[in-house]
Every structure is written in structure tokens, then in C-alpha cells.
Structure 1
Amino acid sequence: MKKYLNLFLFTGLLILANSCTNDLDVKPQDDDEFVADEFYMKPGAYKQALAGVYGNLALTGSGDAGSSNISGLDAGTSQYGRCLWYMQDLTTDEVVWSYESDPGTSEINRVTWSSTNPIFRGMFSRACFEVTLANEFLRQSSAEKLTARNISEAEKAEIVHYRAEARLLRALAYYHLMDLFGKAPFVTENDPISTTFKPQQYDRQQLFTFIESELLAINADLKDPKTNEYGRADKAVAWMILAKIYLNAEVYIGQSKYVECLAKCDEIIGAGYTLATNYKNNFNADNDSNEAYQKELIFTIQSDGQLTQNYGPTTVIINGEVGSIENNGSSLGVNGWSGALRTRKQFVQKFAGAEFNNDVRNTLIKTGRTMDVVDIAEKKNGYIITKFSNLTSTGANGKDKGFVDTDFPLFRLGDVYLMYAEAQMRRDGATNGSGTTNASTQSVDYINALRTRANGQTVSSGSINLQFILDERLRELHWEAHRRQDLIRFGQYTGGVYNWDWKGNSRSGSAIPAHYNVFPVPTASINANSNLTQNPNY
């Protein structure tokens, strides 16, 4: 079904909560219970409310694209996917943002941030708001509420799936909080709704345990892979989150979980997903209906140029891909933002060599540009790319030249193949910094399936070590909000083992301290909840 969340826009979000001034508080008015009963007894109300929980991943408010329901933050610094993309990719070797006067971006570009960065507050608050919305949906869909509202048995059966999806979305939000900040205020539907209630802080071990147990518990109630409406989660999405936390378990909890990661990757791969024939179809305006949707995409953050206008990741990326020299907006289906995004030298170097000259993943445009980003404000410094597009797979324009139709691929099969290979190699003894080449036949097959699609070539097992996997992840998954997490897992984010342009505010890059492996908890969030503590050295 075309753009599931478009069916109801943000109505569910408005029903469930009016504000998010404190990260996890819902502040009901005296007559809210009556309004809720009246709303939820209407046909289709629970599905509409669930759409609001999904909607928070894409939208920022109930008004136009510039509205935000998080006080003190505008839409550009409080959109879930955009903040996630900034924090996972803009803080790395993949990309640089030209307009450093935009709040928070200079610190992120240069990896010199503090706890007052508004983008961090946007991500923290938006993820916490997702938890709030999921909790309220679960409260309103309890067995007692359904009975009191005379909900039919047929609808109750569907609400079982809705509740599982809400729990999954809550786990997804906690996963991002765990990964980015290392801690979070923890609350479920069983906690009180009160302006005085302050959730306790959970650390990574506690969050990991909750996310794992929650996703395993709801598995039977989620729909089977590829059987739900487009845009709604199913079992494969839960398996993907589990695979992610297992792959990164040594970072999160100091334990290896590679056997568990492999098991989840096997489940996803065995669920009927295949690679899209054309790599670029994963990133086109019709990726909700073309072969990528049918084959490879597991879960996306949705975007529609007319119905859900927002300043989300794909609107930012595609408008940002338009170069100040090239003015190539028409070839991407947008008006463009005149050189907002460019690549860093170290990214370009990952595509060096004749084997990548005709690689479909190599969309670098170099003419008239320098590879080195000598000056962030100089838009001719750094190459541009055209990976994402607001054109359909048949070349038609998206609905709008400012806001794109292209959904952001949060999870897709290409990532699973590379996760499998890495987990297998680490399980069998490969370590960071070693030259061990122990990729199994199955791992090599998965890697070569990606390589064959990309450039018609294959690689031998003798050329595959962990550094190859890290580099291949950049080539396959760049600008998809994975890079920071990958660099941390490989021990190449902090310190000086690997530097990139403007890391540590040095033009050629410099070492940064280890505490930058997690972001600071926003000062405003700590001020709102005395149970929260700051991460060390911030």
C-alpha cells in the first residue's frame, strides 16, 4: 500500500500526546480520557493511532514542514531520520555540510561537540518521544480498554499485531539511544503518567537486555516478513535490530554475540529477500513500489513530497547533492540547495582503482573540484555524489521539487550480507587490525553478490580481511546512517589510527579522545530529569 503513514498523516500523534517538553512525559488534560474513549471507539481508530507512532519517525509536527512538537527546537534539528543521519554520517569521513552557521553543524562537521548541541537534543528528544507515543498506544490498547470500549473480536485480533509493532518501534528508539548516547531514561506503559514522575536511567547493559528480550517476546505477534502493509514493521525488522545489537555487542556490553548475529542474518536472508537487480532503485523516488521494495528493502523512513512534507534525511540528502558548480537539480528531480553536501577525501579514496571506475555505487562527480576539503565553506572543495534521487526508476519526477518522495532505507538486505560476513569472520577469529583472511564460502558468495551487482566483478577469499569489510561497507552503504557505528566497532573512530578531513577540527584530521565514542546527553534533558547523568568527560 502506497505510503502507509500517509493514510492518517499525524492524526494519531495528536491524539496520543500534545507536547514533549519533558522527554518522556505525556501531559493529559482533565478531559483527555473522555476524548480518548470517544476517539478509540471509532472504526479504524487504533490503526490511525498506530500511524501516529510510525509518523514520528518522519514528521515533526501537526502543521507544515516547518512545525515541531518538541519545544525549543525547529523542524530541521528535531526530525528523527535527519538527526540520525547527521550523527552517524556527518560526524565521519563520508560527508561534509557546507553551511556551518546552521545550529550544531559546525561541531558535528569537525567532531568538537558539547552537550548543548541542538541536533543531539533533537535526536534524544525525538527518540524519547517515540517511546512516549508507543507507551501511550499500549496503554490505550490494553485488554481492559478494548473490553470497555466494546472492540470487536476481529479488531482485537488485528490489535495484537499493532501492539507488537508499537513495542518494536519503542525498541528501535531505545536501540538508537543506546547506540548514540549509551544511556536513556527508561519508561514503559506500566509507569505512571505524571508531570512529577522522572524515569530512571538505564545504561547500555540494561538497554541491551530490554531490547533483546522485548524483540524476542513479540516475535510471534509480528506479521511474517513481507506480509505487512508497506511501511509497517514485521518479524524481519525485529530480526534486523537484533542482528545489529548482536554485531555491536562487544562495544555495547563487552561480550561477543557473533553466533547470535549470524542466526538472525540467516533468518532475514531466508525470509525471501533478494538483492534488487539495480542498486540505484533502493534510492529512487518510487522505492516504495519498484523492485527494491519488492526485493531488498526491509524497513524505511517514509517520505512523500505532497502528503508528508518534512526536512528528513532524503530531502536533505537529495537537495544537498545538487552542486554549486553543476546545478544538477533537474537530473535529481529537485531544485537543490546549491552545494550543501560534499564528500571528504578519505571517502573518495575508498573508490580508488580501476575496479571502481564503472561501479554503480561510485556516483562521484569530480570535474572542476578539488578532492581535499581545504575550506568547508568553499563549495568547490570536495566532490559531490548522486546516489539518492527524487526521480523514479523510470525517470519520472517526484511529486514536488522541494520535498522528495524517496524513502530512507533504514534496513536493507545489502547490509545483512555484509553483517553476515563480518560476524562469521569475527566468530572464527578475525580481529581488528589483523590481516586474517578467513571468510567462509558463504561469506564470499554474499560479498560477490554485491560486487557483481555493482561492477560485474568478483573478489577472492584471499583478499577479504576485516579492513576490506569496513571499506566495502562504506562503498555499499555510504550515506545510509551506518558509518560512525562501523568505525567505532572497528576501533577507527576515536584516537588517531584513522583520521579524515576536519576530524578534531584539523584540516587533515587529528586524534580525538575515546569519550567521543558516545555523544553527550543533552544538557536540557538532564535539566528536565535529575535521574540522568552526563557521560564521562563531557
Structure 2
Amino acid sequence: MKITKYIIGLGMMAGAVLGLPSCTDLSETVYDQVMSKNYYNTKQDVINAVFRPFEHMYCCIWIRHENEELPADQLITPTRGTWWYDGGLWEMYHRHQYDDINQGDWLSEWENFYVGIAQCNMVLDDLNQLNPSSFGLSDSEFESFKAQLRCMRAWGYLRLLNTHRNCILTTTSDQAVNELPENRKQVEPQVLFDFIESELKDYCLAALPSKSGQSGNGAQQGQFTKAAAASLLVRLYLNAEVWIGQAKWQECIDMCKRITGGEFGHYAIADNWYEPFDWNNETCNEVIFGFPGSYGLTSWHLQNDRRTVYGRGLPYGSAYYLKIEGNGERNPKYALSPSYDNQQPRELFDYGLGMVTRKFAKYQGDIRYKQYANTSNNTREGMFFLEGKIANSAVSGGYAKNPDNQYVIYLRDQVGRFEGNAESGYISNPAYKESKLGNGDFNSGLYCVKYPFYPFTGGYYIESDYTEIRLAEVIYSQAEALLRQGQAGEAGKLLNSVRKRNYENFNANIAYQPEGNVVLDLKEMLDEWGREFLAESRRRTDLIRFGRYQEAWWDKPRDADKHYELFPLSQTQLEQNEYLKQNPGYPDIAR
């Protein structure tokens, strides 16, 4: 079992937690008397304050996962009998119908990320009033703490630039300053882009530490490093053409080369696909930045509750198969979009997007495309729950059943109310034969298991840190930028350098030219992003960058226009700030 999990930010700064400012009301409420003037007494107090916003941002990754994956083509939340209908919320996500500005999780990311930004601003303002020597800190150490906060703030703003484009830019917790009319108005995307770039490039790259050693992040896990800041710049440049209308392909390539060239420390692609996600991934050199997590402390990405990313990405009835029944049965929210229609005999859909399993089956011998199985208390194989029954020794007959014990679950790469006829593929009720989200049951859809779920009693259960940035993303970003500059051969070599670990026999029929026979174009590049980064909270962004977000895919018609590339502001947010302007195409309030 992992002895130390490097959790930072466990000491709560009461003044920061109580009375968190919102994005439009930047005042704070003081409870009791724990304020900055009497909070900071020791070096540990400074450390706790600096990393408190990290805890909040880590907690926010679930809403980003929803907003990236559920409006996209790879993951779905089908209704399962009476489960997961939720007023049609997930159907609206999937079909790009998030026009409601009064309810819906698509309204939450703005507020959640602004809370984290406000926390960063508050602590930065506090630090500017402190003397480093009073806490036994050097000036360089103190600047590094500030850089942690400024890098986290830039990460939050980068995300808001992605989701809303037209954002408020605030860098202080001073209420008088934030209440000025000019500071309550949204800035142009270019202004926010330039701010993020300057913060990362001109300050964070200088003040943050480089990675130390050659055995993963170790004790630096959960802290921003120079390479992490550089990787955020890679994301900024890769999406610049969409976000500000100016391509930054060469800037993206140049920053990628600095990372892969070792300027910021030693990073390397892992020998196996699963190492960046495994229980000891703080030792993996592919991980550039990760949020520390463990079962006994914080593991929001793997918990079996609403704030999860992967904890509800397992089929119902799988707890005994995985030996995680000590943490309860699974409540399946995230399944794979189906590749097959419900005809008899079943037929493949012909969508260019989605079709997840067919994209993996395209190249033979993919070691990821196997049934997930724990091979010990801390080893596993396979990345999917594939078609078939789920072994369950606690149920009569030896296979998992649906929650009402009415039928044996037989997972299918289809969505329909198969119920007790799933193994034969027959749907008896004609009202539920159509393949669509509203007609699902507990047989509907296969599952991606990116992170391991080791036995609950083995000591390794949900011990994995959450990998936010890994080297493969940098390499794929460089490859895409090269491809867009007409250098398909160089792009193919870069992708092959990662892909070769995923296949039993990485031969010429799998490798991209010039090392193999496969032609790399933009369509294939998007497919490869989808394979390598399946379920890693980025698919919406990739689809938009490739100009394919409006296309039709399973249970979604083609969009009428592009306004769904951004999310709306809520009615409450608009009412709280008279200067806010709704994003185009969405309902506004009377002014």
C-alpha cells in the first residue's frame, strides 16, 4: 500500500473557506475572527493557504468531465429503466440542447472555477502583505508559492476561455476594485488569452521549480512545475485558432520541444499504457501534473458518488467481480456510445464519430481492447468491460443481475431495453426497440476503465492520483500542429513513439507513415486522440478544434449552428451582475 500520498492543502484556511466569493459578487463574509492578519503564524500555515485552492480545483474536475464528455460522441448516460432519466438532462447534454439557463450542470463550471480563481486571488493578496523571512522562507521559495497560485489561476482561466470565451478577468480579492464597473465587465477573448500566456510564460516558467529526479513527480505530485506551466501553454496554443481566431501551431511545436527535450526535467513515455493511471503513478515519468488522491484522504475522481469522474463508469453488478463490494455497488453513469444498431442480426452504424469500439478494433492486437480484470491486489489488464455477463458469486446463477434481480445483465455494444433477452439480442417490446438514450437498460453500453479499481480489502483501492497532464498529450499536440503545417511524416513518427506500446505486434499495418503504411490525416488524427485519451475529459474540445462538433452522431442530429460550442450563463449569474452579457444564441434576461 502506498505509505505517503503527498496530500497538500489538508489544513483548511478558515478565512478562505468561509465566505467564498462568487464570480459576480467578490465580497467576503468574515465568520468569527480567523482572518489573514492572525492566521499566518508558521511556515505550515503559508503552505496550507497556498494549496487550499488546489483542493477546490481538484474537487471541480467532475463538472469539467461532464461538460467535455457528455456533449461529445464517445461517452453517454442512457436511461436505465427508471434510473438516470433526471428530467432528460443527459439527453439534452448529448443532443446539444443545453439552452435552459435555470437548471442543468452545464451552468456550474463558470461558478465553480471562479471560486477557485477567487481563492487564488485571496491568498496571493495575503502573501503580498507577508515577509518571507518571518516564516523561515527565502525570497525564491516565496515566489515559488506565488507561482503555484498564479499557475492554478491561469489553469482556471484557460478552462473558462474554453467553455465561455467571454469572461471576467479579476486578479485581486479587493472588493472595492472588483466592484468597479470596468472590472465587472467581460473582456475580449484575446485579452484573456494574452493574460494567461503572460502569466505562464513570463512568470510561472521562471518562478516554478523544475521536476527533480527521474522517478516520477514523487513529493512534487500535486504541485505545478515548469513543465506543467509549459504544458498549459501547449493547450493554449493548440486551441488558439478556435479561441482567438489566430493559429499558434509553431508556438505549440516550440513549447512541446522544450518539454520533450528535457529543459524542465526528465519525462518519458511509460512502457505500458496504464502506468500514468496506476496506484503508484507518482513514480511514473509520463505524469507531468497530477492531483494526489487516496481512499483514506481525497480521491474525488474515483469515488462512488456524484462528484466522481470514474467511480460511476463501471457497470451495475461489477462490484463483486472487482472485489470492491466493500464500497457499495456501482451506479453506472458513463458508458460508451454504441457501435451497433438494434436490428436483427445487428448492424453497425455508419457514423464517422463515436463508434468507440470499432475505432479500437481498427488495428489488431490492441492490448487495451480487452476485458478489464484485476490480476492481483495491485495489477490489472484490459481497459474495458466488453460484451458478456459479469461474474458475481454472490448471486444465484453466478452472474450479476439488474437492481431488481429481474434479469441477468449481459453487456451489449448497443442501447435498447433488452432486459432478460440481452444475450440473444432480442427486444420484445416494440416501444423500446429504437436505439436511443431513453430506451436503455442495465445491459446497454460497454465501459472504459481508465483507472484501476483494485480489491477493496487489498490496500490499493482507489489509490491512483488524478493525472491532469501527461507527456503523451504534449507529443500528440506537437504531432497535430505538425500535421496542420503539412508535416505528416514527422507527426506520424511522434504518434508512433507513443502508440507502439499499445499493440502486441506494432507492425507496418498499424504504424503511420513513413514508419508504416497507415496514412495520417486530420480524420485519423482525431480518431487517434479519441483512442489514446478516451474518457480523459477533453473530447468536446478536440471535436471543436477539428470543426466536427456540429456533426451528427448516435442519437444526435446535426446542429443548426455553432453556438453550442460555448456554454450559457445562468439566469442567476446574469441577475447578479448587470454588466454580464449572455453568450450568443442563448436566452437572455430583461435588462
TM more than 0.5: yes
Residue 352 of structure 2 corresponds to residue 344 of structure 1 = no
> What secondary structure does 1:463 align onto?
coil
> What secondary structure does 1:485 align onto?
helix
Identify the residue that residue 150 of structure 2 maps to in structure 1: 167
CA distance in 1, matches of 2:458, 2:239: 39
Q: How far off is 1:184 after superposition? A: 1.6
Which has the larger displacement, 183-192 or 448-457? 183-192
Q: Give the count of matched residue pairs.
A: 486
Identify the residue that residue 134 of structure 1 maps to in structure 2: 120
Which has the larger displacement, 467-476 or 99-108? 99-108
**Residues 134 and 170, structure 1, Cα contact 8 Å, conserved in 2:** yes
Q: For the structure 1 residues 336 and 284, does the alpha-carbon distance in structure 2 shift closer, same or farther, using more than 3 Å as the test? A: farther
1:201 to 147, 163, 186: 186
Q: How far off is 1:150 after superposition? A: 6.1
> What secondary structure does 2:411 align onto?
coil
Letter in 2 for 1:23: C
CA distance in 2, matches of 1:237, 1:213: 15
CA distance in 2, matches of 1:53, 1:126: 11
Residue 323 of structure 2 corresponds to residue 275 of structure 1 = no
CA distance in 2, matches of 1:409, 1:84: 14
Q: For the structure 1 residues 336 and 96, does the alpha-carbon distance in structure 2 shift closer, same or farther, using more than 3 Å as the test? A: farther
Q: For the structure 1 residues 3 and 413, does the alpha-carbon distance in structure 2 shift closer, same or farther, using more than 3 Å as the test? A: same
Q: After superposition, what is the alpha-carbon deviation per residue over 1:456-481, rounded to whole angstroms, capped at 9, x for unaligned?
A: 41513151111111101110001101
1:383 to 437, 443, 446: 446
Q: After superposition, what is the alpha-carbon deviation per residue over 1:122-147, rounded to whole angstroms, capped at 9, x for unaligned?
A: 211111011101111110111xx223
1:502 to 536, 555, 560: 555
**Residues 69 and 540, structure 2, Cα contact 8 Å, conserved in 1:** yes
Q: After superposition, what is the alpha-carbon deviation per residue over 1:416-474, rounded to whole angstroms, capped at 9, x for unaligned?
A: 1111111011123xxxxxxxxx4233x33321122210004151315111111110111
Equivalences for residues 34-183 of structure 1 within 5 A = 35-59=35-59, 80-98=60-78, 99-101=84-86, 104-114=89-99, 115-142=101-128, 145-147=129-131, 151-152=134-135, 154-183=137-166
> What secondary structure does 1:85 align onto?
helix
Identify the residue that residue 475 of structure 1 maps to in structure 2: 531
Equivalences for residues 505-524 of structure 1 within 5 A = 509-524=557-572
CA distance in 1, matches of 2:293, 2:41: 30
CA distance in 1, matches of 2:436, 2:273: 32
1:230 to 221, 236, 250: 221
CA distance in 1, matches of 2:30, 2:366: 64
CA distance in 1, matches of 2:90, 2:293: 23
Equivalences for residues 287-306 of structure 1 within 5 A = 287-289=281-283, 292=284, 295-306=285-296
Letter in 1 for 2:387: K
Equivalences for residues 308-457 of structure 1 within 5 A = 308=298, 310=300, 316-324=308-316, 326=318, 330=322, 335-345=328-338, 346-359=355-368, 363-367=384-388, 368-373=410-415, 374-376=435-437, 377-391=440-454, 397=458, 404-428=462-486, 438-441=487-490, 443-455=491-503, 456-457=505-506
Q: How far off is 1:241 after superposition? A: 0.9
> What secondary structure does 1:519 align onto?
coil
2:202 to 203, 217, 223: 217
CA distance in 1, matches of 2:178, 2:496: 55
**Residues 295 and 463, structure 2, Cα contact 8 Å, conserved in 1:** yes
CA distance in 1, matches of 2:234, 2:70: 24
**Residues 284 and 390, structure 1, Cα contact 8 Å, conserved in 2:** no
Letter in 2 for 1:199: R
Gaps in structure 2 of 5+ consecutive residues: 79-83, 214-218, 339-354, 370-381, 389-409, 416-434, 587-591
> What secondary structure does 2:497 align onto?
helix
Q: For the structure 1 residues 344 and 2, does the alpha-carbon distance in structure 2 shift closer, same or farther, using more than 3 Å as the test? A: same
Q: How large is the RMSD of aligned CA atoms in angstroms? A: 2.9
Looking at secondary structure, tell me which structure has more helix per residue: 1
Q: How far off is 1:11 after superposition? A: 0.3
Q: For the structure 1 residues 314 and 254, does the alpha-carbon distance in structure 2 shift closer, same or farther, using more than 3 Å as the test? A: farther
Letter in 2 for 1:141: L
CA distance in 2, matches of 1:467, 1:425: 11
**Residues 27 and 175, structure 2, Cα contact 8 Å, conserved in 1:** no
> What secondary structure does 1:57 align onto?
helix
> What secondary structure does 1:417 align onto?
helix
> What secondary structure does 1:266 align onto?
helix
**Residues 26 and 194, structure 1, Cα contact 8 Å, conserved in 2:** no
Which has the larger displacement, 236-245 or 102-111? 102-111
**Residues 314 and 388, structure 1, Cα contact 8 Å, conserved in 2:** no
CA distance in 1, matches of 2:454, 2:87: 28
CA distance in 1, matches of 2:93, 2:478: 30
CA distance in 1, matches of 2:299, 2:29: 29
> What secondary structure does 1:44 align onto?
helix
**Residues 314 and 407, structure 1, Cα contact 8 Å, conserved in 2:** no
Q: How far off is 1:199 after superposition? A: 2.5
Q: After superposition, what is the alpha-carbon deviation per residue over 1:188-218, rounded to whole angstroms, capped at 9, x for unaligned?
A: 1275457855622123211111101111121
**Residues 411 and 445, structure 2, Cα contact 8 Å, conserved in 1:** yes
Q: How far off is 1:329 after superposition? A: 5.3
The normalised TM-score by structure 1 is: 0.82
Q: After superposition, what is the alpha-carbon deviation per residue over 1:280-331, rounded to whole angstroms, capped at 9, x for unaligned?
A: 1222233234xx3xx1011123332211254668973443232136556526
Identify the residue that residue 528 of structure 1 maps to in structure 2: 576
> What secondary structure does 2:274 align onto?
helix
CA distance in 2, matches of 1:356, 1:483: 24
**Residues 474 and 483, structure 1, Cα contact 8 Å, conserved in 2:** yes
> What secondary structure does 2:469 align onto?
strand
Q: How far off is 1:83 after superposition? A: 0.4
Letter in 2 for 1:285: W
CA distance in 1, matches of 2:482, 2:148: 30
The normalised TM-score by structure 2 is: 0.75
Identify the residue that residue 348 of structure 2 maps to in structure 1: none
CA distance in 2, matches of 1:304, 1:40: 28
Q: For the structure 1 residues 185 and 232, does the alpha-carbon distance in structure 2 shift closer, same or farther, using more than 3 Å as the test? A: same
Q: How far off is 1:23 after superposition? A: 2.1
**Residues 285 and 390, structure 1, Cα contact 8 Å, conserved in 2:** no
CA distance in 1, matches of 2:273, 2:560: 35
> What secondary structure does 1:168 align onto?
helix
Percent same amino acid among aligned pairs?
A: 23
Q: After superposition, what is the alpha-carbon deviation per residue over 1:82-126, rounded to whole angstroms, capped at 9, x for unaligned?
A: 000001111111111241318943422332112334423321111
> What secondary structure does 2:62 align onto?
helix
Q: How far off is 1:500 after superposition? A: 1.8
Q: After superposition, what is the alpha-carbon deviation per residue over 1:70-92, rounded to whole angstroms, capped at 9, x for unaligned?
A: xxxxxxxxxx1000000111111
Q: For the structure 1 residues 173 and 446, does the alpha-carbon distance in structure 2 shift closer, same or farther, using more than 3 Å as the test? A: same
